[in-house]
Amino acid sequence: MYSPRPLPMPNTALVIVLIGLLSWGCRSGPPSDRLLVLGIDGMDPQILRTLMTEGRMPHFEALAQRGGFAPLQTSAPPQSPVAWSSFITGLDPQDHGIFDFVHRDPASLTPFLSTARRGESGQLALQRRGQPFWEILDEHDIPTTIFKVPANFPPSQSAESFADLPFFCPCAVRSFSGMGTPDMLGTYGTFTYYTEGPYTVPAHLEGGGTSLVAGGELAVPGGKIIGVQLENGWAQLPIHGPMLDEESVQTHFAIYLDRQHRTAEIVLGQQRLVLQSGEWSPWITIDYGRKPYSLERLQGIARFYLRAAVPSLQLYLTPVNIHPGNPAMPISTPPEASEELHQALGPHYTQGMPDDTKALEAGVFDYGEFLRQDALAFAERRRQLRYELGRFAAGVLFFYVHSLDQVCHMLWRAWAPDHPGHRAEFAPYQQAIADQYVAMDDLLGEAVAMLGPDADIIVLSDHGFAAYERSFNLNSWLAREGYLALAPQVSLDQAHILNEGHVRWEQTRAYGLGLNALYLNLKGREQHGTVRPEARESLLSELSQNLLGLRDPADGRQVIKKVYRPDPGADLDLAPDLIIGYARGYRASGATAIGQLESAVLQDNLSPWSGDHCMAAEEVPGVLLSNKALKPIPHHLRDIPVSILAYYGVAPPTAMSGHSIWEE
Ligand SMILES: [Zn+2]
């Protein structure tokens, strides 16, 4: 039995009929089975093995016993958008065209997010190339649901991802966009924190030490801090919205604070709620009014959390998420799938990564508050898995779980006593990472029970995890070694390669942008390129040798484990010239990613963001488990789409070079 599908739009019906006719002969028998592919971002084979040995992961252990468990090789670099793009297309980065979470325009050096970009028409277009495996399944009439796979916003087959072909919108696969889906401000998540009390930006963030002026506003990475001045316990406060016609849209709410009872009453349009200190509100609708030239309303959803009522008001508001029942941007295919999910389960996070790591980094959440918010988001995801499994009658269900990756990023220093950021006060959270693994085991147990015996399962992760103890600033190193020339009056700690006049480009041979990318200042490609194409090879060899020889002055450890030279293929303008594969313990600093220099080339990482995976691919393989026996050979993310197609007897397209993971 197939899952119900909405009728295609009249103008796409012909296309779908044609695809159906063309693929008729390729089908290898009716797909009567069900295959669940559970994607757990950041699950690490070493940690999983240890917890399985300790008997804490019985459902993973049972799955490994029934079929198999092996490490899964990942992409270089092992960043989620890059790795999941390989999972989706079966291609390497040079073929799917996603090399780092940030790319740059070589002419202007302007950085931009790599997976989605606005075209000249103003419409967002997915940048990933290659054919997603679900389109091939669809050509063979195999019903497929893709639940929040990263690097798929706008969802492929949606109207916006076909911006150049506005009348081609097949919309046959049911899919929901995940990581990469913005909030209503167009960012990857911007919280708001309303506070009467003092607020100072933590030292590990850009602008560290800056204090909020009473009644003023302060921007921090991923958040806005708004100073509140109550009059007789009352204030009217803004909720920021998207830019429309070059103006920022806002709405407002009123707050009445009752310090004696430690409660706050919030009134937003017709909605009224009372929160106790420490309480989260349900999702509420944020209505920005009518869309321009339209009768439709521009709406998002958000939740308040009353952090404190005494001695001063501290109120957190989640990023305003795209309303799943009235989405302002495409977040599902077909478009009505999101509304249907909203009707079935109510409002829920739609932003790509719901865990508010930025609020924790900004000191707006402590660890306890971060883990509680993570638990709220994970509970939603778990209800969604139940719902999807409940309607999973045939075909393939891919389901993505975000939370393990996020908790490992933020809690690593709490469980690793030798991390430079470890502090005794984190003791209550030392087990948070292990607890998340146990929660994944519980989730798997429920999924296996709901699936029943006549279905198959793959569990995989995009990469593993390691400590992020020391930060490396690539541009500061390039400046120190004479590859990047700063203007004489600019010091390392002030320099930014994107600032006018900071870099003497005519004397610069290389620069870094993104977390793992190094680019040559190539003549004919970069605006002020100096490196002649014939000198490219020898300069890359010299840089690779010097980077691999780099030792940490603190303890002599090797900083960079591997340097990759991607084959630029057709992407000579876009592809990095080198991909830097850090050793476990090391990562590019956040400043490096945006082109900012720092006075120290290497320094301790004292941010809560204390675990990571943007290292050499060989340092952080992911996991692969299945109830069916695995071939005893190494497996790669590229092999998974080939295996999903093989499950239904569908030959992969020639561009997919992977193999089936299963024993014949
Ligand atoms: Zn991650």
Question: How confident is the model over 233-251, as pLDDT tens digits?
Answer: 999 999 999 988 778 899 9
Secondary structure of residue 467 in the 3-state scheme:
strand
Distance 609 CA to ligand 1 centre (A): 10
| Cα pseudo-dihedral 619, 623, 629, 630, rounded to 10 | -30
Distance 409 CA to ligand 1 centre (A): 7
Distance 606 CA to ligand 1 centre (A): 18
pLDDT at 170: 54
Distance 420 CA to ligand 1 centre (A): 20
Question: How confident is the model over 399-434, as pLDDT tens digits?
Answer: 999 999 999 999 999 999 999 999 999 999 999 999
In this predicted structure, the answer to whether residue 539 has a pLDDT above a threshold of 60 is: yes
616 closest CA partner among 520, 544, 567, 537: 544
In this predicted structure, the answer to whether residue 641 has a pLDDT above a threshold of 70 is: yes
For the ranges 224-238, 443-457, 564-578, the lowest mean pLDDT is seen at 564-578
Distance 547 CA to ligand 1 centre (A): 24
Q: Which CATH number fits domain 10-91+130-182+329-465+620-647: 3.40.50.300, 3.90.550.10, 3.40.720.10, 3.30.470.20?
A: 3.40.720.10
Distances (CA, A) of 534 to 94, 523, 530, 555: 22, 10, 12, 38
378 closest CA partner among 405, 412, 358: 405
Question: How confident is the model over 113-140, as pLDDT tens digits?
Answer: 888 888 777 778 888 989 999 999 999 9
Distance 344 CA to ligand 1 centre (A): 30
Asked if 407 and 371 count as a contact pair (C-beta separation under 8 A), the reply is yes
Question: How confident is the model over 476-535, as pLDDT tens digits?
Answer: 999 999 999 999 999 999 999 999 999 999 999 999 999 999 999 999 999 999 999 999
Q: How many CB atoms lie within 10 A of CB 274?
A: 14
In this predicted structure, the answer to whether residue 171 has a pLDDT above a threshold of 70 is: no
**pLDDT category of residue 161 using cuts at 50, 70 and 90:** low
Distance 3 CA to ligand 1 centre (A): 33
As separate numbers, helices (DSSP H) first and strands (DSSP E) second, the chain gives 15, 33
In this predicted structure, the answer to whether residue 602 has a pLDDT above a threshold of 50 is: yes
Q: Position of tokens 């607890």?
A: 435
- φ/ψ of 592, rounded to 5, equals -55, -40
Distance 158 CA to ligand 1 centre (A): 26
For the ranges 22-36, 46-60, 535-549, 644-658, the lowest mean pLDDT is seen at 22-36
Asked if 77 and 515 count as a contact pair (C-beta separation under 8 A), the reply is yes
Domain boundaries in the chain? 10-91+130-182+329-465+620-647, 191-322, 469-618
Tokens of 110: 């302007």
For the ranges 35-39, 138-142, 246-250, 607-611, the lowest mean pLDDT is seen at 246-250
**Mean pLDDT on 581-593:** 97
Distance 13 CA to ligand 1 centre (A): 40
**Mean pLDDT on 367-371:** 98
Distance 613 CA to ligand 1 centre (A): 7
Distances (CA, A) of 451 to 33, 385, 430, 446, 644: 11, 11, 34, 9, 17
pLDDT at 8: 30
